[in-house]
Amino acid sequence: MRVIHPLTMPKWGLSMAEGKIGDWIVREGMSVESGVELVEVETDKILSPLEAPASGVLRRILARKNDLVPVAGLIAVIADATVPDEEIDAFIVDFKARFVPEQTGQADAASSTIQVQVGGQSLCYVKRGEGEEAALLIHGFGGDLNSWLFNQEALADQLAIYALDLRGHGGSSKQVGGGTLDEFVEDVHGFLDSLGLRKVHLVGHSMGGAIAIKLALAYPARASSLVLIASAGLGSEIDVEYIEGFISAQRRKELLPQIEKLFADRKLVTRQLIEDVLKFKRLDGVESSLRTIASQFCIDGHQALILRDQLSALPMPASIIWGAEDRILPVSHARDLPGNLTVQVLSGSGHMVQMEAATKVNRLIAGFWRESQGQP
């Protein structure tokens, strides 16, 4: 049976209704392997490559550079070279006849976020997927639940996925108390209790990684597994100029060079991403909260808390993912770790590796979860 594979616009993030086609990496008529990058897609956050869903020949490109394509809309068609052009044409006509654009947008995104009270403070989160198994995604310093823009929907095929705004970030309360990691750990622990989540797979990025480590050590019965992405707490080095620059930036030209440090490929950073971060930073209490956290997190130009010597005590499966070109936390922090951790270093990616190499990261996390659950 001859199979025709559609390449469609993915849904990256709650508010995404459409994507803008960037540069095509592969030309029409070329043979492609499953997973190879075909085209760049611009969302309202960053540019991201879209990979081939199957092996075959890129038989038809339907969306050209700068075209806007709705979520799930047809971008291209992949099929074996033996499939007649008439069948490709019929497939395209049928797809377009059946296609109904998804009705979504910023209002839908806002209504999808949920507020929960923990320790007298409001925490914001979103949930995707269902199932008895659940995972909690914890962002880093200055981030929010949108740090998992390209991960949450993909991973929700396997587990119920929760993404949380830490205090001082996103839509959560801006009061951070002393701003210590221990306070964040108790926030996350209280969050699990408030939702009745007895045990979850923890995924932490940057500062969120350090929080996940401390939570897994303090409450090992609550963590099924641990994935650390460019995690803090594994070495003393950190780009403190980034931390200070991010906190103090009030204008686009001040913030742009700091955000660019997060990615190996600077061109991925969009104007909308910068505007969204500036909008967050201008909220009452944000700068003060970030400074309080930074004062606990970084002291005298170095990370204040080193947890690498405690990793061998983790009783649950643990894995580390790092971007080889990380300019915030050096990839050397992923070396010479205890043997109970698996380590994956992804070339061509920076600190926001879960965004910059989303498909690879999603594949690694999903595979690690299956392995930790004893699944093939």
Q: Are 215 and 188 in contact (CB under 8 A)?
A: yes
| pLDDT(108) > 60 | no
pLDDT of residue 106: 46
Compute the average pLDDT of residues 222-229. 97
Q: How far apart are CA 366 and CA 157, in angstroms?
A: 9
Query: pLDDT grade, residue 111 (50/70/90)?
Result: very low
- Determine which of 101-110, 244-253, 305-314 has the lowest per-residue pLDDT on average: 101-110
Of the chain, the percentage scoring pLDDT greater than 90 comes to 80
Please state, rounded to an integer, the average pLDDT across all residues of the chain. Answer: 92
Q: For residue 230, give the DSSP letter.
A: S
* Burial classification of residue 343, based on how many CB atoms lie within 10 Å of its CB (0-12 exposed, 13-18 middle, 19 or more buried): middle
pLDDT of residue 376: 63
Structural domain boundaries in the chain: 4-98, 113-372
| pLDDT(157) > 50 | yes
pLDDT of residue 107: 42
pLDDT of residue 110: 44
| pLDDT(13) > 80 | no
Among the CATH numbers 2.40.50.100, 3.40.50.2300, 1.10.260.40, 3.30.160.20, which is that of 4-98? 2.40.50.100
Compute the average pLDDT of residues 181-201. 97
Task: List pLDDT tens digits, range 316-357.
Answer: 999 999 999 999 999 999 999 998 899 999 999 999 999 999
pLDDT of residue 138: 98
- Three-state DSSP class for residue 213: helix
Q: Are 134 and 161 in contact (CB under 8 A)?
A: yes
Of the chain, the percentage scoring pLDDT greater than 70 comes to 97
Give the pairing of strands 68-70 and 37-42: unpaired
Query: pLDDT grade, residue 35 (50/70/90)?
Result: confident
| pLDDT(188) > 60 | yes
pLDDT of residue 104: 54
Among the CATH numbers 3.40.50.1820, 3.30.450.40, 3.40.50.2300, 3.30.420.40, which is that of 113-372? 3.40.50.1820
Q: Tell which residue, 156, 146, 200, has the closest CA to residue 352.
A: 146
Q: How far apart are CA 20 and CA 147, in angstroms?
A: 20
